[in-house]
Chain A
Amino acid sequence: MSTRFDVIVVGAGPAGLTAAQQLASRGFKVLVIERGKKPGSKNVFGGRIYAHVLDRLYPEYVKEAPVERWVRRERVTFMTEDAWTTVDFETTKTEHRSFTTYLTNFVEWLGKKAESAGAVVVSEVPVDSLVIKDGRVVGVRAGNDEVYSDVVVVAEGINRLVLERSGLAPKLSPDIVALGVKEVIKLDKNTINERFGLDEDEGLAWVLAGYPTHYLPGGAFIYTNKEAITLGIVLYLKYGYQLDIPIYELIEEFRLHPLVKRLVKGGQLLEYSAHLTPVAGLNASPPNLYGNGYLVVGDAAGFLLHLGIIIRGVDFAMESGRLAAEAIIKAHDVGRYDAETLSIYGKMLEESFVLRELRTFRNAHKVLMEPRLYDDYVKLINKALARYFDVDGTPRRLGSTLLEAKGNITLLDLARDAIRVVMNL
């Protein structure tokens, strides 16, 4: 591969392929280098994509994209071993707001989009590092090969080995990532519709907290696909050291919890996967999002919004890829790809939802790392309701039942945590 490209993209995921498609469709000579056998084969996520970015990038997506189900039902559950409390939201509106899918299929579709726009996608090649000459990124290195370009888009995902090896990011810290472990369980369509109260093509997105992580910061998710259910647990690695059983057992306990067990009964395991996810908002970003000859997008840039109940990675990744492409087009017009010219990428990020939302919720991760949310409060709500519903002739007011159930938590703790949650999430 001695040919020179205008742009090299490291990693064929949602961010990299969006950048590649945008640039190729504007006439740039683009090379995407992917370590997997094909785009998508190394991608894992929870299960849902918020579609607003697709309206703009691929208006034809409603018919073309590998959508499993449109989410019309949302659930949030506070779960203990023997009791659980659920908020269940449902809408009859049929707007296309978010859908469940397999990221593997979705990324494969994005790969085809990039290729039909003219991008060259080379698979089965892990990039080792960037080629840096005189303080400028001029290409990438894979084994003994070097390929050169005017600018490199780093879209390598959360494990940013390329940036680390090139001295552009510190080693990933357990404080800024969570481990997600997922099981995909095959069930027939009618069984899913009956068990989850869904109509044809309607989907459910469900987050659960408390027991799934043995009350450590993190949680669990369940999504309905056409003919499968994806379930998994997410554990903040900052608290991973406190886990009392191995993580590969933890997900089994969640699946065998009475609430979950009856929902997946008779199913068949299709796949068992695991992936890291950034959970520290802007604190998960590398020191620089751009520099002389390079830009960072997607998970590698830490662009994932985690609000506990709402988790958005793919829309942030795709938007950052689109903005990187716009920035490169502007830099091309100027004729330079130095940090100063590429700083337009930073400005565009600031004006877009990517940094506007990440800044709005810049303290979300601090609130969400508070262990009381996953332990004391989950237990409190279930204990209080269990007492309240347990009618035995003793008069029970809501207030006194709550006070009794709160145990050692002071009212001050409660008030302070409630305010922090409401103000920051």
Chain B
Amino acid sequence: MSLDRKIPIEERLNSNAWDVDQRPHIRIIDPEQCRKCDKKPCLYLCPARCYTPGPNGTVLFSHEGCLECGTCRVVCPENNIEWNYPRSGFGVQYRFG
């Protein structure tokens, strides 16, 4: 993959080693809160683009590419994210951290 262009985030995440749990370790508590949230910092501060715009101002979350940094939990203005680490060794497996 050439470095002379922006590498789409999905492609970058594919270069990592993963052992993804089927069960999500993070959950949006109340979708209604996201609808009311103006800034939605999760959309642009999650480095893995786990948060994407959903219908009618909602936010969709997918745990698969989660880098387990904890940013979403810290920046959510509504404290609307239930944040955990993946269970028993699951998730991203850093080799060059």
Chain A contact residues, CB within 8 Å of chain B: 35-37, 40-45, 102-104, 123-126, 158-159, 161, 171-174, 177, 179, 181, 183-185, 228, 230, 237, 240-241, 243, 245-249, 251-253, 255-256, 261, 264-276
Contacts and interface: CB of A to CB of B under 8 A. Distances in A.
B55 interface: no
A102 B5 CA distance: 26
B41 A248 contact: no
Nearest to B93: A41
B96 A273 contact: yes
Nearest to B17: A271
Nearest to B66: A274
Contact of B3 (A42, A240, A246, A265): A265
Lowest 10 A-B CB distances belong to which pairs? A124-B89, A44-B97, A274-B47, A246-B44, A272-B12, A159-B70, A104-B97, A184-B96, A274-B69, A252-B6
B96 A246 contact: no
Interface string B62-73: 000001111101
A104 B95 contact: yes
Contact of A42 (B6, B45, B68, B74): B68
Nearest to B89: A124
Of the four ranges (under 10, 10 to 19, 20 to 34, 35 or more), the interface on chain B belongs to 35 or more
A272 B6 CA distance: 13
Given A126-B87, A173-B74, A274-B71, A247 B44 contact: yes
Contacts of A274: 47-48, 67, 69, 71
Contacts of B69: 179, 274-276
Contacts of B5: 256
Interface string B84-97: 11111101111111
A174 to B, nearest CB: 5
Contact of B13 (A125, A181, A267, A272): A272
A271 B48 CA distance: 12
A250 to B, nearest CB: 9
B96 A102 contact: yes
Given A161-B85, A273-B67, A183 B97 contact: no
Contact of A276 (B70, B79, B94): B70
A179 B72 CA distance: 11
Contacts of A252: 6-7
The interface residues of chain B, by DSSP majority, are classed as: loop
Contacts of B16: 271-273
A173 B70 CA distance: 11
Contacts of A36: 89, 93
Nearest to A177: B74
B94 A241 contact: no
B44 A44 contact: no
Contacts of A246: 43-45, 49
Contact of B89 (A37, A158, A255, A267): A37
B94 A183 contact: no
B74 A237 contact: yes
Contacts of A266: 3
A184 B71 CA distance: 21
B97 A240 contact: no
Nearest to A102: B96
Nearest to B39: A241
Contacts of A248: 9, 12, 46-49
A271 B96 contact: yes
B75 A174 contact: yes
A45 B69 CA distance: 12
B3 to A, nearest CB: 5
A270 B96 contact: yes
20 contacts: A36-B93, A37-B93, A40-B94, A40-B97, A41-B94, A41-B97, A43-B94, A104-B96, A177-B74, A179-B45, A179-B71, A228-B96, A237-B75, A265-B4, A270-B96, A271-B16, A272-B67, A274-B48, A274-B67, A275-B69
A264 B3 CA distance: 8
A240 B95 contact: no
B56 interface: no
Nearest to A245: B44
Interface string B28-70: 0000000000010101111111000000000000000001111
Given A179-B45, A248-B49, A270-B96, 16 more contacts: A37-B93, A41-B93, A41-B94, A42-B92, A43-B94, A177-B74, A179-B69, A240-B41, A240-B71, A265-B3, A265-B4, A270-B15, A271-B15, A273-B16, A273-B94, A276-B70
